[in-house]
Chain A
């Protein structure tokens, strides 16, 4: 069986590195990006099952990632993480058809559960 593909976008390297290490151990294929542009370029080449993205990034931000993903692959689930958690951004993100929303620091176990649920509900 093919392995699920997960994309992580966060402008801090540590977030992608840690997520990649944890998720690869669960058998996912993981690619990480430090900003939105190359991530979107990669998405145009290939489909991912789940995209985990930071909300606030320079250039292409999380909301733009979300829009593009939904345009290209309506089935792909998007999970949003952000250091600046407030109600407004959460509501905005959820309206935009986000699967889940986490303030950072996010417990890796919870992220894994969320990804599993995203894949189960497709």
Chain B
């Protein structure tokens, strides 16, 4: 065992010869891999900083202009572009699709910032083909419906969209573009000018290409329906149902027979409704130029509705956490247009939604499909008028749909729905609902302190100012998020991007450690959730279930009061929220929608793929996560064990160390190094833990060389029939990195850690597998390890007898502590399964470990 290093060197030479050429074409030296990883990180960091800055500057507290936005975005784009390049090299082109996704998001942003109009595309798009980024072609209303259908898999009537390209083509074909350009040339836009455009549209000829495509679309749609299948032809202007509701501005033509002539007629009517006095006034008021407006149209099957109505996923102006359903017999047109005697249901949200109020309207008249086409208003049959149109069960089902949609869009929604005669709900529209925000009245903090007990003061960093109250939900394990109650104050040791899952329900977030530039922090700003990070000992001061009020002002001061301080919470909007009323502000801020939200939350979920990226933030998150994976692979495949030296420790861990830069003190002597020679921050911390008094049980471990394995560096595979001497543990290290592969007996353990002064870069990736004892004991051990790792804030995934645990975005100090504990756990866990005789012992040993007691 003396000549490990020399042996390894010879072995690597031999292996290198063996693998030169065809086997090892892709093998990249680890220092190169590591260099690429660092370049990805550098760009990543700068990009996150820019996103943070944009969020801040566009938060309502700054005067900014388009020049700022363009400049900031241009820098962001360059950084991400560079990051993607380095990432491509690091992962050897494994995620080549990412570049195209980046291009799509970039195009949307350019459209907003540089007024770049996408080149002419399809004139007809079926709903199943409308992806989230095609809002500029299909209009907001159609794009939102497509999300419900394609992403949430909810029931939406079948149909297609006539895009803005169709609009442009129609207008140009009929020479109407000149009339539109001339609007208001002699001062104000007049009704005469508008009427002229309307009539030109109504008698306009269909361009042959468009006519052909509509004909084909109708034919295709016809194959999806038997019998009489009329359509609803509805407006979907580009800005409609996005930031601006345009509620009730444009025409919808209902009950249109499924035929070319009828659909084209309805299409003209909807287009013409863009040029009314009402619409011109709305555009003017909103600061929009009607001359630039483009109208897409949706053609969808009419639902043969028994009942229809509207659902607000949050009751505006009413009690919070309540949904409001309005319902009536027949078609919903009357409700949308403000019929007052509809039925209404108030439903309190939460784990077990409850109907808190039910009002049955008279509903004297109802809207129904006309015999041939169009709609009729008829008297409601006497056995239906005055009778509730939905059962309680149906109302609750609908509320559940509303909750899902709200959770997806992460903002309250205004939803149109219909219930068909078979009792199935279809969704006809969803758009953001504006609800007054509960925020604070500033300047109250000092007075209040005199008579309200203060729990926490002058600690932490304010991520998002505001005031919020609720019961403390003390998060111990990530899995507990599943039980997070609506409206609670989330208190946790670490911040985590996993919190995004509960963002729609959280009233405030307080963490012991964390950074204001984390993913979580930027999402808090995005949704204006009052948040305080790095508050030290908040999670030990605040008790689970305790009622508290957080007041964080925009000068960075935060106080947590005991109890719900009503006087602090008030329906007056804060300064930044009030800015939302400004059209120009919302319009400029809209660009953030493609930049800051985070959709890729959990790397363990299926949507963690390039195609799941919808924002620049998503792309960065993806790159970061997969770079770590790339680095781990690089460490496994390209490790330069030729420079490995033996690590002499007081415990017989049998580790060989390969330094790729700054991991070992420069002046060490001989072919072995000692613990003192190790200057790699994460490796040192792990070793410290492994050597912690009592953690390593020498007496229970067989010290045979064969137990010391070998690593996952594939060396043993190369010469698997060779000597047992080859079986050693391997650590690839640098100053702030370690990739550690251990095998003790039959247990495999791999750790990959990056630990620097920048919390955002830091990660711990931990794998544990195997075990010699029977499967029951093995799974108990996994459970025990998982339980302990959860205590330290890891996110855990268990697959068979493999544990994968991850933790990222933690400060260096915090990480060193956790690595020390993880080191102890590695030592402690070696022989555990031999003693885990029953379920109770799992709990017992976990408690022992947490209490610093390592005796088995």
Contact = CB atoms under 8 A, between A and B. Distances in A.
Given A18-B60, A104-B65, A105-B63, 9 more contacts: A12-B65, A14-B584, A15-B63, A17-B582, A84-B67, A104-B64, A105-B68, A108-B61, A108-B63
A83 B68 contact: yes
A13 B287 CA distance: 9
A104 B63 contact: yes
B65 A15 contact: yes
Nearest to B586: A14
Nearest to B58: A105
B38 interface: no
Interface stretch (A19-27, A61-69, A87-95): A19-27
Given A107-B61, A107-B62, A14 B68 contact: no
Most buried by A among B57, B63, B583: B63
Interface string A1-40: 0000000001011110111011001000000000000000
B62 A21 contact: no
Contacts of B68: 83, 104-105
Contacts of B66: 12, 14
B578 interface: yes
A84 to B, nearest CB: 8
B588 A14 contact: yes
B579 interface: yes
A108 B57 CA distance: 10
A104 B579 CA distance: 18
Nearest to A103: B68
Interface residues of B, number: 21
Interface of B: 57, 60-68, 287, 575, 578-579, 581-585, 587-588
A81 B67 CA distance: 13
A83 B63 CA distance: 10
Contact of A111 (B63, B287, B585, B588): B63
Nearest to B67: A83
Given A21-B578, A83-B68, A13 B584 contact: yes
A102 to B, nearest CB: 8
Contacts of A17: 582-585
Contacts of B579: 18, 21
Contact of A83 (B61, B65, B583): B65
A83 B169 CA distance: 39
A18 B64 CA distance: 9
A113 to B, nearest CB: 13
A108 B67 CA distance: 18
A109 interface: yes
A22 B575 contact: yes
A104 B70 CA distance: 13
B554 to A, nearest CB: 8
23 contacts: A12-B65, A14-B64, A14-B65, A14-B582, A14-B588, A15-B63, A17-B582, A17-B583, A18-B585, A19-B63, A21-B578, A25-B575, A81-B63, A83-B65, A83-B67, A104-B63, A104-B64, A105-B63, A105-B68, A106-B62, A107-B61, A107-B62, A108-B575
Nearest to B57: A105
Contacts of B64: 14-15, 104-105
A41 B57 CA distance: 33
Most buried by B among A13, A15, A109: A13
B422 to A, nearest CB: 50
A10 B583 CA distance: 17
Top 6 closest A-B pairs, CB basis? A105-B64, A83-B67, A14-B584, A105-B62, A12-B65, A105-B57
Contacts of A25: 575
Contacts of A21: 578-579, 581-582
A90 B756 CA distance: 40
A42 B582 CA distance: 24
Contacts of A81: 63
Nearest to A107: B62
A105 B55 CA distance: 12
A58 B655 CA distance: 70
Contacts of A108: 61-63, 575
